[in-house]
């Protein structure tokens, strides 16, 4: 079997168009754009690139982008004060504080300070609880995007065996909750799990989020399984020249594609969905605050 690619770029572009249409509708109803505030502390180059991309796509989708760039030595109290200000600002519908934060700032404290209804990353403990109890709320963007990709090729996931490799708060755990809510039988594996290959071979759905380049091999994949590769790893690429690098996922793509029915590429799979889901979450947050049922999801 040779897997078909799940094209995250195309699916994310379609979602962004949908958000843009609804954002225009929202503006016509409320007289102002939904607003997304992004806070960047310090000058981590990867975060700067990511934040620039978020700002560009926010504006392109017809949402208002509000940026706060703070120096690396910002005190925790000053960041918390900014979050409070954004919480109270009626023109701000979504707040995203870019992680990682400098060492003097406790990220958990900052996440907990964001109002749950403006928490477009879905990391606030209230939203974690809402996801776990199936009571709505804002869902973390990467797992949400991963689920959307999955459902483009398999709309009904009920009864399927799924394995999530990784148990982080931002990817693995919420991904497992989403799959459970879809009535999958879910295994969550991590660095202490025994015999990962055997666990994976049982699964109809494999979601890899370990941050280990090409760890999941082709012979871990059951014939016909669907593989969602969340991993983004930069590795040396001597074939392209000395000092060159390339991005690879957590799955050995060619090997796994020979066994799977569908697979996401890296880059161009889950990555583009993350920002598209952030925009959708911002619109959803704006709509929820005004009692308007957002049709994005």
Binding site for ligand NDP (CB under 6 A): 142, 165-168, 170-172, 189-193, 196, 209-212, 230-233, 250, 270-271, 274
Residue 71 CB, shortest distance to ligand NDP, in Å, is 25
Catalytic residue among 121, 204, 229, 250: 121
Is the sign of the CA dihedral 140, 52, 252, 258 positive or negative? positive
Active site residue 121: yes
* 1: three-class secondary structure by DSSP: coil
**Least separation in angstroms between CB 292 and ligand NDP:** 28
Q: Which is nearer to ligand NDP, 127 or 142 (CB)?
A: 142
Cα atoms in the Cβ-side hemisphere of radius 13 Å centred on 153: 22
Nearest CB to ligand NDP, comparing residues 29 and 46: 46
- Nearer to ligand NDP by Cβ, of 153 and 235: the residue is 235
Instruction: Please identify, using beta-carbon distances, which residue of 82 and 225 lies nearer to ligand NDP.
Output: 225
**Cβ count near 292 (within 10 Å):** 16
CB of 36 to ligand NDP, least distance (A): 17
Residue 159 CB, nearest distance to ligand NDP (Å)?
25
| Active-site choice (18, 54, 173, 284) | 54
Residue nearest to ligand NDP (CB): 168
Q: Which is nearer to ligand NDP, 136 or 197 (CB)?
A: 197
Closest approach, Cβ 89 to ligand NDP, in A, equals 27
SS3 content of the chain, % helix, strand, coil (to 5): 45, 15, 40
Would you call 54 a catalytic residue per the annotation? yes
For residue 238 the two structure tokens come to 């001597």
Catalytically annotated residue among 22, 33, 98, 177: 98
Evaluate whether 19 touches 276 at the Cβ level (below 8 Å).
yes
Nearer to ligand NDP (CB atom), residue 82 or residue 101: 101
* Residue 9 bears catalytic tag: no
Measured CA to CA, the distance from residue 241 to residue 261 in angstroms comes to 33
* Shortest reach from residue 49's CB to ligand NDP, in Å: 13
Phi first, then psi, for residue 12 (nearest 5°) are -70, -40
- Residues 15, 276 contacting (CB under 8 angstroms): yes
CA distance 64 to 55: 9
Q: Torsions phi, psi of 185, nearest 5? A: -95, 115
Across-strand partners of 188? 164
Tokens read off for 199: 């666990």
Residue 229 φ/ψ, nearest 5 degrees: -105, 105
Active site residues: 54, 98, 121
């Amino acid at each position: 079997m040779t897997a078909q690619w799940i094209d995250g770029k195309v699916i994310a572009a379609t979602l962004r168009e949908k958000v843009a249409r609804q954002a225009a509708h929202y503006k016509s109803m409320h007289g102002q754009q939904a607003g997304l505030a992004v806070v960047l502390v310090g000058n981590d180059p990867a975060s700067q690139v990511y934040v620039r991309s978020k700002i560009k796509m926010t504006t392109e989708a017809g949402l208002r982008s509000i940026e706060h760039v703070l120096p690396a030595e910002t005190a925790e109290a000053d960041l918390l004060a900014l979050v409070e200000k954004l919480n109270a600002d009626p023109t701000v519908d979504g707040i995203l504080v870019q992680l990682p934060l400098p060492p003097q700032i406790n990220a958990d404290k900052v996440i907990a300070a964001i109002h749950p209804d403006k928490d477009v990353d879905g990391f606030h403990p209230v939203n974690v609880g809402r996801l776990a109890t199936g009571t709505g709320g804002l869902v973390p963007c990467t797992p949400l995007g991963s689920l959307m990709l999955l459902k483009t090729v398999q709309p009904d996931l009920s009864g399927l065996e799924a394995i999530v490799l990784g148990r982080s708060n931002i990817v693995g755990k919420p991904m497992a909750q989403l799959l459970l809510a879809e009535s999958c039988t879910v295994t969550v594996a991590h660095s202490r799990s025994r015999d990962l290959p055997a666990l994976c071979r049982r699964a109809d759905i494999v979601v890899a989020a370990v941050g280990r380049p090409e760890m999941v091999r082709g012979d871990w994949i059951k014939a016909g399984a669907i593989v969602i590769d969340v991993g983004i790893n930069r590795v040396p690429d001597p074939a392209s020249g000395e000092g060159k690098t390339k991005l690879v996922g957590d799955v050995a793509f060619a090997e796994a594609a020979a066994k799977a029915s569908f697979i996401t590429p890296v880059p161009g799979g889950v990555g583009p969905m993350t920002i598209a889901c952030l925009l959708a979450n911002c619109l959803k947050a704006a709509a929820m605050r005004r009692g308007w049922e957002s049709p994005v999801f």
